[in-house]
Amino acid sequence: MAVTNADIAAAFERVADLLELQDANPFRVRAYRNAARRIGELKLDLAARVAAGEGLPKLPGIGTDLAGKIEELAKTGRLALLERLQRQVPAGVTELLQVPGLGPKRVRALYEELHVHSLPQLLRAARDGRIRALPGFGEKTERRIAEAIAARLAAGKRFKLAVAAQYAAVLIEHLRRAPSVREVVAAGSLRRAKETVGDIDLLATADDGAAVVRHFTRHPDAAQVLAAGDTRGSIVLRSGLQVDLRVVPPASFGAALLYFTGSKARNIRLRNLAQERGLKLNEYGLFDGARAVAAATEEQIYAALGLPWIAPELREDRGEIEAARRNALPRLVELADLQGDLHVHTKWSDGTATIEEMARSARERGLRYIAVSEHSRRLTVAHGLDTAQLAKQRDEIDRVNARLADIAVLAGIEVDVLEDGTLDLPDSALARLDIVIAAVHSKFNLPRARQTARVLAALDNPHVKILAHPLGRLIDQRDPYDIDMLAVIRKCKARGVALEVNAHPDRLDLTDVYCRMAKDEGARLAIDSDAHSVHEFDNLVHGVGQARRGWLEKGDVVNALALAELRAWLAGRKEAR
């Protein structure tokens, strides 16, 4: 494993940020920042010196302690201090450092005083006027923060992932009918499974690029042609979604796919890694002077840079390159790992199919169990069930289980969490169910402290197994409610409750950042479709994409358990309480 000066400098800069977030000794913080700057500018390969047993040269400001940290990184690719500090600071807090004008001191104040640890929460705090009251901020600073975050979160019109994926599938099929086309794939944010997509990037290999571009621009849904050349084409669909096409020879396919998948920050990191090896990386390949070192596949390029292949969902420069260097990349959960779906609605509430129809549809997709989790009585708009209806539904579930093989139906409920944190049905009714999912469906605008207390109280109920769509957001329709997610995640971990990754395209809730936070905290998650029809099990792929962006593995996901293991987990939850 090769460790570069840039790796060491980045690690020291990260240590300095985290130390300053914790209000550490300013001289210690400054020492790490100065060391990072000096090492980043140094031409001498420090890791090579260590590997050769030559020892480190004397560098200004780097004493015995910092030299020991350099040697630790050079020999192992890891830094124990950095890993300890990362465990002490919530994952989302460091994202606040990306906001212009917010250094570690200000981020620490926001985190400690307002308990803000995500960009949406920071934007909410600015819009509510809570930031201006903090020392050193003021109304103008608050306004600038709000403007910077809003611009960052809403840069251009964006389309939900599922919508963009549908457009992409049609266009890919159209391109595959073009003359001389060999391969067509989606790249960009769509390939990285981002929850919203600004435009679609398509990549094709072909012998006659101009012919492919002409075929592409003649797509019947193209409302405007922005560009049409020998290797590039760009159109705007009638929906307003822009689609860009690049045609490359097969020999350059891997380099082009790597480049156009992004993200921009990750591409910069890879280019820097190449430069440190005396190489040049671009969309055409990895080059040593004029000689192509690797270009045909992503795997070849990663290997030439001393890295294993990194899954597209991880390519956001959020530590994946460092994890790859120390052979610590997660084995990401896959759609095929899911054994069941624990959040399914039927005609008993606001679904469109019977219990048996939903079970058969799930079985066709390879699932081994589902949990019918209707709304509870308070949600009258969704025809929520009361205690008597719930008992009748349990009888029907028993009949369906008697008729069907190779699929099991569990009896559940998506029970409303009331404003005071109690649940919408009595414990006597909940105790008869296989699984209870708690959900907030009202009072989204409660103050942060009350909303957090409300959810924490619900998690104390001994029958709750899953917290549904924990942020309550609807993408582009309703902001997440203001809640201390770190406290919620830790309570879920303590109570043995799984947080839901709701795969509905309008929700994708939890966010990827909070998925990562939950994993880091040791909480478990459930990837559910929230299906209301037999077709909506297909949305599970989007939930898996969100989970993969959050670094989740099979072992983090409760519905990746076999049915017997799931029942044991559910029983263990009851016994523990």
Count Cβ atoms below 10 Å from residue 321 Cβ, excluding itself.
Answer: 21
Window from 78-92, 94-108, 306-320, 545-559 with minimum mean pLDDT: 94-108
Q: Are strands 525-528 and 291-294 parallel, antiparallel or unpaired?
A: unpaired
Residue 491's pLDDT band (boundaries 50, 70, 90)? very high
- The CATH T-level fold of domain 5-153 is DNA polymerase; domain 1 (1.10.150)
Residue ranges of domains in the chain: 5-153, 159-248, 253-325, 335-576
Q: State residue 43's pLDDT score.
A: 66
Mean of pLDDT values over 432-461: 96
Would you say residue 522 has pLDDT above 90?
Answer: yes
**At 375, is the secondary structure helix, strand, or coil?**
strand
pLDDT at 156 over 70: no
Average pLDDT over residues 187-203: 96
Residue 178 has pLDDT above 50, yes or no: yes
pLDDT at residue 577 above 50?
Answer: no
Return the pLDDT at 535. Answer: 83
Main-chain phi, psi angles of 205, to 5 degrees? -110, 135
- Convert the pLDDT of each residue in 117-138 to its tens digit: 888 888 888 888 999 988 888 8
What's residue 90's pLDDT? 76
Residue from 40, 22, 4, 42 nearest 82 by CA: 22
**CA distances for 234 relative to 184, 468, 491, angstroms:** 15, 40, 49
Q: What is the pLDDT of residue 541?
A: 95
DSSP 456-479: HHHHTSTT--EE-STT--BTTTBP
Per-residue confidence (pLDDT) for residue 573, from 0 to 100 = 55
Q: How confident is the model at residue 88 (pLDDT cuts 50, 70, 90)?
A: confident
The pair of structure tokens assigned to 513 is: 């950042």
CATH domain 253-325 topology: Beta Polymerase; domain 3 (3.30.210)
Any idea which fold 159-248 has?
Beta Polymerase; domain 2 (3.30.460)
pLDDT at residue number 576 = 46
Q: Which residue has the tokens 């959960």?
A: 333
Peptide bond just before 118 cis, omega within 30 deg? no
Structure confidence at residue 284 as a pLDDT band (50, 70, 90): very high
Give me the phi and psi of 245, to 5 degrees please: -120, 135
Q: Which CATH number fits domain 335-576: 3.30.450.20, 3.90.230.10, 3.20.20.140, 3.40.50.920?
A: 3.20.20.140
Asked if 509 and 502 count as a contact pair (C-beta separation under 8 A), the reply is yes
Q: What are phi and psi of 431, to 5 degrees?
A: -65, -20
Show Cβ contacts of residue 348 under 8 Å, excluding neighbours closer than 6 positions: 355, 372, 374, 383, 385, 389, 393
Classify 282 in phi/psi space as left (phi over 0), alpha (psi -120 to 50) or beta. beta
- Over residues 307-334, the mean pLDDT reads 95
Q: Above pLDDT 70, what percent of the chain?
A: 97
Mean predicted confidence (pLDDT) in 343-356: 92
Q: What pLDDT, on a 0 to 100 scale, did the predictor assign at position 292?
A: 92
Tell me the pLDDT tens digit for each residue of 94-103: 778 777 778 7
Per-range mean pLDDT, top range of 83-97, 210-224, 392-406? 392-406
- Neighbouring-strand partners of residue 246: 203, 232
> Is 159-248 the same fold as 5-153?
no
Q: pLDDT by residue (tens digit) across 4-59?
A: 777 788 889 889 888 888 888 888 988 998 888 778 766 678 888 888 888 787 77
Residue 493 to residue 515: CA distance in whole angstroms: 13
Instruction: Please name the helix (run of DSSP H) or strand (run of DSSP E) that holds residue 355, with its range, or none.
Output: helix 355-364
Give the range among 66-70, 219-223, 247-251, 458-462 with minimum mean pLDDT: 219-223
